[in-house]
Structure 1
Amino acid sequence: MAAAEPEHVAWISERQLARAWPTIRTAFLDATANANEVRSNLLVSHSTWGESTWRTYHPADVARVAGAIADGTAELQPHWRSDTPEAKLLDQRLRRKNLPGAIGCALLIAVPLAIIIILLIISWNDSGSSSPSYWH
Structure 2
Amino acid sequence: MGAADEQDRQDGEGWLTKAEVRELWPQVRAISITAVARANSVRMSAAPSQDLTGEPTYHAADVRQVAARIARGEAQVAPWQRADSDAACEDARPVPPVPPVRQQVGWGADNVPGLILLAIIVGLMLWGLTAPDNHGTVTDFVR
TM range (shorter): 0.5 to 0.7
Alignment of 1:1-136 (within 5 A): 5-6=3-4, 7-9=7-9, 10-44=14-48, 53-92=54-93, 95-96=94-95, 99=97
Structure number having the greater helix percentage: 1
Aligned length: 89
Distance in 1 between residues matched to 2:69 and 2:24, nearest whole Å: 12
Give structure 2 stretches of 5+ with no counterpart: 100-143
Quick one: distance in 2 between partners of 1:83 and 1:59?
24
Note the aligned Cα RMSD (angstroms): 2.5
Cα distance in 2 between the residues matched to 1:44 and 1:57: 10
Normalising by structure 1, what TM-score? 0.56
| Structure 1 unpaired stretches of 5+ | 46-50, 104-136
Percent identity (aligned)? 30
Higher relative contact order (CA 8 A, sep 6+): 1
Q: Which runs of 4+ in 1 moved over 3 A?
A: 89-92
Question: Does the aligned pair in 1 maintain the 2:79–2:85 contact within 8 Å?
Answer: yes
Q: Deviations over 1:28-86 (max 9, x none)?
A: 110110111100013248xxxxx862211111110111011101111011111111234
Highest CA radius of gyration, 1 or 2?
A: 2
